[in-house]
Structure 1
Amino acid sequence: MESREKALPGQAKNMNNLAVPPYRLIRTNDDLKQFAGKIDREPFLAVDLEADSMFHYQEKVCLVQMAGNGENVVIDPLEVNDLAPLAPLFKNKRICKVFHGSDYDIRSLYRDFSIEINNLFDTQLASMYLGEKETSLGAVVNNRFGIQLDKRYQKKDWSQRPLPDGMIEYAASDVFYLIPLAKALMTELEAKGRLAWVVEECEYLSGVRPVENGDDPLFLRFRGAGRLQRRNLAILEGLLQYRKDLAMKKDRPLFKVFSNTSLLKIANEMTDTPQAMEAGRCLSPKQIRIHGNSLAEIVKQAKAIPSDKLPVYPRKRRPSVSPKVPDRVKAIKAWRDKIAEDLELDPALLFNKALLTAIAVKRPTTKKELAGIEGIRNWQVKDFGKDLLTVLSTVP
Structure 2
Amino acid sequence: MDVDASAGPSSFSEYQAKLQNAVLQPTKLALGLPKDLAFHRTLDRNFAEDIDECSSRVLALTNKLIKFASTARNAPDEALGGEEDAVDNFHSLVVDVMDRLLEQADTHIDRHLGRNKAAASSVVVNEPKASSSKRITASGPLDKRVLHDPTIQKPQLSFSTRVDNFSASWRPALREKPHAKRALEESMDVDDELPCHPYRFEISQITYPERMFEVPQPSEIATFDATPFTLVTTPEEFARMLAQLRKAHEIAVDLEHHSYRTYSGFLCLMQISTREEDWVVDLLAVREQVPALGEVFANPEVVKVFHGAESDIVWLQQDFSLYIVNLFDTYHATKVLDFPKHSLASLLDAYTDFTPDKRYQLADWRIRPIPSEMLLYARSDTHFLLHIYDRLREQLLQRAEGSPDLVREVLRRSEETALRTYVHEAYDAENGTGANGWENMAKKWNKSLQGVHFAVFKAVHQWRDTVARQEDESTRYVMNNNALFKLVDARPEDGPQLAQVLHPMNALLRKRSKELLDVIARTVKEYKEPAVVVPKHPHTTQPNPFAIGTQSLPIDLTADTDAQRAHLWDLSNNEHSAKVAGSSALFGVNFVPTWRDYCKPTSALFGGASPAEARTLTKNKQYLEVAAQIHSTLVIAPVLPKFEAVDVEMDGAEPVPPPAASSSAKTEANNDFIPIPTVPEEIAFVPKGGRTTVDPNAGDDIVVVGLRQKKRKRTKAVSGDAAETAEDTTTQTARRKKSKAEPVNGGQAEDVKEFDYSSVPNLLDNDDPQATAAPETEGKKKKKDKAPAKKTGGIDYGNFPKPPRNRSEMKAGNMARTFR
TM-score, length-normalised on structure 1?
A: 0.65
Change (3 A) 1:231 1:63: same
Matched, 1:130 2:337: yes
Give the Å deviation of 1:42: 1.9
* Distance in 2 (alpha carbons) for counterparts of 1:9 and 1:301: 62
Deviations for 1:86-117, whole angstroms, at most 9, x for unmatched residues? Answer: 11111111111111111111111111000011
Q: Structure 1 residue 203 and structure 2 residue 409: aligned? A: no
Contact 2:221 2:387 in 1 (8 A): no
Which residues of 2 match residues 263-282 of structure 1 at below 5 A? 263-267=484-488, 269=489, 271-273=491-493
Task: Determine the C-alpha separation between the residues in 2 that align with 1:238 and 1:205.
Answer: 36
Which letter does structure 2 place at the counterpart of 1:209? T
Paired position in structure 2 for 1:49: 255
Which residue, out of 139, 149, 167, partners 2:356?
149
Offset at residue 296 of structure 1 (A): 3.8
Asked if the contact 1:100–1:122 (Cα under 8 Å) also holds between the matched residues in 2, the reply is yes
Q: Which amino acid aligns with 1:28?
A: T
Separation of aligned partners in 2, 1:214 and 1:128: 34
SS in 1 for 2:428: coil
Q: Choose the corresponding residue for 1:301, options 522, 526, 529.
A: 522
User: Which residue number corresponds to residue 308 of structure 2?
Assistant: 101
Q: Where in structure 2 are the equivalents of 1:50-129 lying within 5 Å?
A: 50-80=256-286, 81-129=288-336
> Does residue 462 of structure 2 align to residue 241 of structure 1?
yes
RMSD of equivalent CA atoms = 3.5
Q: 2:493 is matched by which residue type in structure 1?
A: T
Identical aligned residues as a percent: 27
Deviation at 1:35, TM superposition (A): 1.8
Could you tell me which residue of structure 2 aligns to residue 324 of structure 1?
Answer: none
CA distance in 1, matches of 2:472, 2:267: 16
1:107-131 deviation per Cα after TM superposition (whole angstroms, max 9, x unaligned):
1111100001111111122213222
Maintained 8 Å contact 2:492/2:498: no
> Which letter maps to 1:216?
D
1:176 aligns with 2:396: no
Aligned-partner Cα distance in 1 for 2:413–2:343 = 18
Higher relative contact order (CA 8 A, sep 6+): 1
For 1:284, the aligned partner's letter is: H
State the number of aligned residues: 299
> Are the equivalent residues in 1 in contact too, given 2:250–2:304 (CA < 8 A)?
yes
Give structure 2 stretches of 5+ with no counterpart.
1-130, 136-217, 401-405, 530-820
Tell me what 1:212 maps to: 424
Q: What SS does the aligned partner of 2:368 have? A: coil
When Rg is computed on C-alpha atoms for both structures, the one with the higher figure is: 2
Superposed, which structure 2 residues align to 1:315-354 within 5 Å? none
Relative to the length of structure 2, the TM-score reads 0.33
Give the SS at the match of 2:360.
coil
Q: 1:322-344 CA deviation, whole Å, 9 max, x = no partner?
A: xxxxxxxxxxxxxxxxxxxxxxx
Q: In the aligned structure 1, how far is the partner of 2:299 from the partner of 2:361?
A: 30
CA contact (8 A) 1:117 1:206 kept: yes
**2:254 is the alignment partner of 1:33:** no
Q: Is contact 1:8-1:172 (8 Å) kept?
A: no
CA distance in 2, matches of 1:79, 1:168: 16
Partners of 1:102 and 1:122 within 8 A in 2:
yes
Q: Name 1:366's counterpart in structure 2.
A: none
Q: 1:259 to 1:88 in 2, by over 3 A?
A: same
Q: Contact conserved, 2:452 with 2:527, CA < 8 A, in 1? A: no
Matched to 2:463, the amino acid is Y
Is the contact between residue 307 and residue 344 of structure 2 (CA under 8 Å) also seen in structure 1?
A: yes
SS in structure 1 of the partner of residue 459 of structure 2: helix
Partner of 2:150: none
Cα distance in 2 between the residues matched to 1:17 and 1:296: 60
Paired residues of 1:51 and 1:159 also in contact (CA < 8 A)? no
| Greater helix proportion | 1
2:228 maps to 22
Q: 1:296 to 1:99 in 2, by over 3 A?
A: same
